A = this chain, B = another copy of it.
């Protein structure tokens, strides 16, 4: 019985890593699709988001099944409860990657990136991809040092988010309301993606240290 239990906890952890890897792939492709107006790549991201949704649902079912049958306590309970929450955050990250990819589809064959903002969005995308990689690393290794690394990248992302608004409100984009809409949404999506990575990091801290925050 104990062995079955340990196996199912390991299954939870492996599935979380698998979903996080798919999120990493999604945001990598979404950033490329957005940067290069690559519609075929954007379609991939849409498929990934659907798959991430299904995998998260299956993980929820596994977690609830473990709670019902095996009634875990202490750090085992924290892992299972954490999986329910981390799954939800990973799913939102997949949705946001999808939203970023969608912007490039809506504007195709035009670019969704307004004048003067290509570098900023490329950098935001890089930060999101790095954060997704760190989330995979954190879930695989359970190394608490990764938690701080994720928070640091999120601070950089927030700074870029503020910069986008400065640029958008400067002269360059006057008379281009569509560019302003796209830049506002894209920046918001990137920033929220980072917030959810931080939220996964907080949940892992809860699992490792036992403190909610």
Does any Cβ of B come within 8 Å of A165's Cβ?
yes
Known contacts A84-B81, A88-B85: A181-B184 contact under CB 8 Å: yes
Known contacts A60-B212, A88-B85: A168-B181 contact under CB 8 Å: yes
| Residues of chain B contacted by A61 (CB below 8 angstroms) | 212
Contact of A177 among B64, B67, B68, B168 (CB under 8 A): B168
Does any Cβ of B come within 8 Å of A117's Cβ?
no
CB distance from A199 to the nearest CB of B (A): 9
CB distance from A136 to the nearest CB of B (A): 22
Known contacts A64-B77, A84-B81: A178-B185 contact under CB 8 Å: no
Does any Cβ of B come within 8 Å of A71's Cβ?
yes
Which residue of chain B has the shortest Cβ distance to A56 in the bound complex?
B212
* Chain A contacts to B: CB under 8 angstroms: 57, 60-61, 64, 67-68, 71, 73-74, 77-78, 81, 84-85, 88, 165, 168-169, 173-175, 177-178, 180-181, 184-185, 188, 212-213
17 new A-B contacts, CB < 8 A, other than A81-B84, A184-B185, are: A57-B213, A60-B212, A64-B212, A67-B77, A68-B73, A71-B71, A84-B84, A85-B88, A168-B177, A169-B177, A169-B178, A169-B181, A173-B177, A174-B177, A180-B180, A184-B184, A188-B188
